[in-house]
């Protein structure tokens, strides 16, 4: 009786050990317990980060770089050519005319050297060159005769004045003392000469003389000169 109990106990223990051994080696479906799990899911059913994270691409990979530029050289940009404006034709020079009282301005001034001299200045106020022919014809206070012209002062060529340019004539008021009393004068009439040394009566100019002007019959006037110094040489 006692031996039956011991046998029964041994069999039960043997059966329990066998059951434990089968449980440790695998489940009922024969799956190897040591094989790693294919995927572990959280309670929400989404795969864990280890299962979803994709490997980072190499930053030096050709697929990540910008497309290579075209190796063919580009033609340089060209600037549109602009044609230079046509040069304007130069205006033709205007034909010179005769200097008269209508296209000039005449002034008279007293000079310190030489003594007893005045300086007559004519300026071209027109838009054309003008010829200052010969010498100016002078009359003091309406005298009947014109003042004597000094022939030694005749220039080699006719004086030509461009617009704005001036010419000069020297007036010697008195000559060598002869005992003649000088004449006082306040006004001077100036008449221009034409090509033939004739008076241009329609264009005379009246000037006021400097105070204390005296002249005599031995005085003179020079031809028109291009330079002031030449007019005051005589």
Q: Give per-residue pLDDT as tens, 112-142.
A: 999 999 999 999 999 999 999 999 999 999 7
The answer, yes or no, to whether residue 228 has pLDDT greater than 60, is yes
Give the C-alpha separation, 100 to 227, whole Å: 19
Range of the domain at 114: 97-231
Q: Is residue 53 part of a domain?
A: no
Q: Residue 33: inside a domain, yes or no?
A: no
Asked if pLDDT for residue 3 goes beyond 60, the answer is no
> Could you read off the pLDDT of 70-81 as tens digits, one per residue?
555 565 566 666
Residue 15 lies inside a defined structural domain of this protein:
no
In terms of pLDDT, which residue wins out, 94 or 222? 222
Two structure tokens written together for 135: 């010498």
CATH number, domain of 194, equals 2.60.40
pLDDT of the residue at 77: 62
Report yes or no on 6 lying in a domain.
Answer: no
Predicted model pTM: 0.61
pLDDT band with cut points at 50, 70 and 90 for residue 24:
very low
Contact 138/119 with Cβ under 8 angstroms? no
More confident residue, 210 or 67: 210
Q: Classify residue 104: in a domain, yes or no.
A: yes
Distance CA 230, CA 153 (A): 9
Cα→Cα distances 16→6, 8, 12, 181, Å: 15, 12, 6, 179
Residue 104 pLDDT: 96
Higher pLDDT, 41 or 88: 88
**Confidence at 39, pLDDT banded by 50, 70, 90:** very low
Q: Domains in the chain: how many in total?
A: 1
pLDDT digits 0-9 by tens, 162-206: 999 999 999 999 987 777 789 999 999 999 999 999 999 766 799
Does residue 20 lie within any of the structural domains?
Answer: no
Is residue 70 assigned to a domain?
A: no
Residue 157 placed within a domain: yes
């Amino acid at each position: 009786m006692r031996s039956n109990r011991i046998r029964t106990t041994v069999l039960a223990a043997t059966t329990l050990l066998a059951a434990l051994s089968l449980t440790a080696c695998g489940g009922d479906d024969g799956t190897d317990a040591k094989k790693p799990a294919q995927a572990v899911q959280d309670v929400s059913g989404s795969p864990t980060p280890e299962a979803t994270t994709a490997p980072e691409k190499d930053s030096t990979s050709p697929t990540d770089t910008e497309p290579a530029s075209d190796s063919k050289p580009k033609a340089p940009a060209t600037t549109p050519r602009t044609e230079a404006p046509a040069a304007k034709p130069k205006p033709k020079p205007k034909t010179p005319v005769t200097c008269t009282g209508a296209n000039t301005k005449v002034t008279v001034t007293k000079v310190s050297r030489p003594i007893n001299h005045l300086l007559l200045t004519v300026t071209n106020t027109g838009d054309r060159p003008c010829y200052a022919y010969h010498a100016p014809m002078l009359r003091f206070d309406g005298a009947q005769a014109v003042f004597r012209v000094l022939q030694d002062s005749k220039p080699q060529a006719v004086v030509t004045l461009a617009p704005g340019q001036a010419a000069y004539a020297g007036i010697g008021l008195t000559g060598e003392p002869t005992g003649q009393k000088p004449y006082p004068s306040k006004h001077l009439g100036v008449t221009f000469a034409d090509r033939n040394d004739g008076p241009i009566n329609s264009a005379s100019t009246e000037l006021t003389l400097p105070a204390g002007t005296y002249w005599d019959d031995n005085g003179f006037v020079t031809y028109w000169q291009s330079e002031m110094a030449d007019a005051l040489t005589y």
